[in-house]
Amino acid sequence: MTLIEIQNVREKLLADLDAISGAPELEAFKLAHLTRKGTIAAMFDELRSVSKEEKPQAGKELNTLRQSVEARFKEREEELGATGGHEEHGRLDLTMPARPVSVSTPGHEHPLMKTLNEMIAIFERMGFAVENGPEIEDDEHNFGKLNFPPDHPARDMQDTFFVKPTPDWTPTSKDQPLLLRTHTSPVQIRLMERQRPPIRAIMPGRVYRNEAASARSAVAFFQLEGLVVDKGVSMADLKGVLLSFARQFFGSDAKIRLRPSFFPFTEPSAEVDVSCYICGGKGCRVCKNSGWLEILGSGMVHPNVLSACGIDPEIYTGYAFGLGIDRTAMMRYGVSDIRDFFENDYRFLEQF
């Protein structure tokens, strides 16, 4: 292999490159000359048999050959639009049909919304209107008017996320703390401030609690609040509505039981359990052998709450209840980790 030979090969390859008119030819050129098994690599191998005296010069010539061929190759690649992905996959074909979606049920309701919508439909049939309120609340609506006195330990029942309108904001004595609502009960207050009895409404929405996330509790979850205020409303009405709801939602033999409880905004207050829909009350793993599942908090609206909203508690009475939608959906579908609802893993969501 002489210097002249090397120069001749260089001229030839550059001329060949110039003559190429399409991406497939260019690809063939690359395979023949520029890969590890190509002509240029073979010439480098031949260097070994070149005499000691000529070796440095020949090496230099070979490097020039490789560099100039590679440079010209790149230019041609750009000219022919054969760079990057196109080189491997051919040109983009806009007429190709789209890939079929691989899931069996593309696009359907999220299990939480499915549960919520079913609940809403049941309450609507019983004459309840649907109301909404803001997720960023003030202290007065989330606590104050719900009869949580300032500094009362009841406020510790709910760990709260406070909100600052701007990073350097500090409340003055006139300002109320802003917070992410810890329950849907402030929507009761907003409704009673605005509307005179009779009131019969449900208030679904997202709520927030500053708790460590675990399989049983998430920092954001959904509740559905119910409120009825009128003349002569009693605890028996509450029980009737909740039993009817339980039968429509959990099945016609569902039973409910009320246990005494405490909430600052209701008096008396009751925790409501529904008979376990899995074992029918005999006891199983889901109900931890008790036969009952706790589904909601409820009670008669506290007279202080009615007064705070300008409704005369001597004339009107009311009941309220609040249930957790995530918990209910978990029970219903046998989901053991609440976080599954928020991760949006298609393999999970597809099952509903």
- Residues near ligand PHE (CB under 6 A) are 183, 185, 225, 263, 266, 297-299, 320-322
Residue nearest to ligand PHE (CB): 322
User: Smaller CB distance to ligand PHE: residue 43 or 325?
Assistant: 325
Q: Are the C-beta atoms of 2 and 47 separated by less than 8 Å?
A: no
Helices (H), 20-134: 23-29, 39-46, 55-79, 84-89, 111-125
Query: Which is nearer to ligand PHE, 145 or 183 (by Cβ)?
Result: 183
- Beta carbon of residue 322, minimum distance to ligand PHE (angstroms, whole number): 3
CB of residue 210 vs ligand PHE: minimum separation in angstroms?
A: 14
Nearer to ligand PHE, 73 or 222 (CB): 222
Least CB distance to ligand PHE at residue 185 (A):
4
- Least distance in Å: CB of 215 to ligand PHE? 19
Contact 13, 38 (CB under 8 A): no
Distance of CA 337 to the CA centre of its chain: 14
Residue 154 to residues 37, 190, 216, 262, Cα–Cα distance (Å): 80, 21, 22, 10
Q: From the CB of 172, what's the least distance to ligand PHE, in Å?
A: 29
Q: Which residues contact 14 (CB under 8 A, 6 or more apart)?
A: 68, 69, 72
Q: Which is nearer to ligand PHE, 29 or 321 (CB)?
A: 321
CA distance 146 to 139: 10
Quote the CA–CA distance of 334 and 301 in Å, as a whole number.
Answer: 33
| Angle subtended by helix axes 111-125 and 325-333, to nearest 10 | 110
For ligand PHE, the closer of residues 138 and 225 by Cβ is 225
- CA torsion, points 229, 235, 236, 237, in degrees to nearest 10? 20
Q: How far is the CB of 298 from ligand PHE (least distance, A)?
A: 5
Question: CB of residue 112 vs ligand PHE: minimum separation in angstroms?
Answer: 17
Rounded to whole angstroms, the Cα distance separating 294 from 129 reads: 25
Residue 69 or 201: which CB sits closer to ligand PHE? 201
> 112 or 320: whose CB is closer to ligand PHE?
320
